[in-house]
């Protein structure tokens, strides 16, 4: 099971944080700090796996964003790389050539997409099209309501 998933920029600014375990706020902040320090200090041609406490940390850099997740010992690290890649593909499909700014200004949508892909630290759906359809349908539901209320979304 995945313990958490973090997205942060090269300057260490947090862009998304998903926690699959209950942890107090103070501890979350500390973990974010540890992760950003550890991952940002990695040299360019090193492997994408780290050990931290009793967890395996898998990270991958996409343009200016670092995607970082924590796995338990029995989880498959290579598959985790595929999971991170799948999430990026989903974002890409939704935003159309996604970049960091998209995720900054539409962070709530990034969360909605993630919530259709992962749940409780496990993969919920393995088909890209299925996830895209669900998110689209939810958006439609929201917009219909908004149109009805004649108010802009957020």
Residues forming the site for another protein (CB under 8 A): 14-17, 19-20, 22-24, 29, 45-50, 74, 76-79, 81-83, 85-86, 104-105, 107-108, 111-112, 115, 119-120, 122-130, 134, 137-138, 141-142, 145-146, 149, 151-154
User: Is 1 in contact with 121 (CB distance < 8 Å)?
Assistant: yes
- Minimal distance in Å, beta carbon 97 to another protein? 19
Query: The tokens of 74 are what?
Result: 């029995």
- Minimal distance in Å, beta carbon 142 to another protein? 5
* CA gap 154, 146 in Å, rounded: 9
> For another protein, which is the closer residue by CB, 29 or 63?
29
* CA gap 56, 74 in Å, rounded: 9
Count CA atoms closer than 13 A to 96's CA, side-chain side.
0
User: Is 107 in contact with 16 (CB distance < 8 Å)?
Assistant: yes
Q: What is the CA radius of gyration of the chain?
A: 16
* CA gap 105, 71 in Å, rounded: 28
- Minimal distance in Å, beta carbon 95 to another protein? 14
């Amino acid at each position: 099971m995945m313990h958490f998933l973090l997205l942060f920029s090269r300057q260490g600014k947090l862009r998304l944080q998903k926690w699959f375990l209950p942890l107090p706020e103070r501890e979350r902040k500390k973990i974010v700090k540890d992760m950003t320090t550890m991952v940002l200090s990695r040299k360019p041609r090193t492997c994408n796996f780290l050990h931290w406490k009793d967890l395996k940390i898998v990270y991958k850099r996409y343009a200016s964003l670092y995607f970082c997740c924590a796995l338990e010992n029995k989880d498959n690290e290579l598959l985790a790389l595929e999971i991170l890649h799948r999430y990026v593909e989903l974002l890409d499909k939704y935003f159309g050539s996604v970049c960091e700014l998209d995720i900054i200004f539409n962070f709530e949508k990034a969360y909605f997409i993630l919530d259709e892909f992962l749940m409780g630290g496990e993969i919920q759906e393995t088909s890209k099209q299925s996830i895209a359809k669900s998110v689209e349908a939810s958006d439609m539901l929201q917009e219909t309501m908004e149109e009805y209320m004649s108010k802009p979304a957020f």
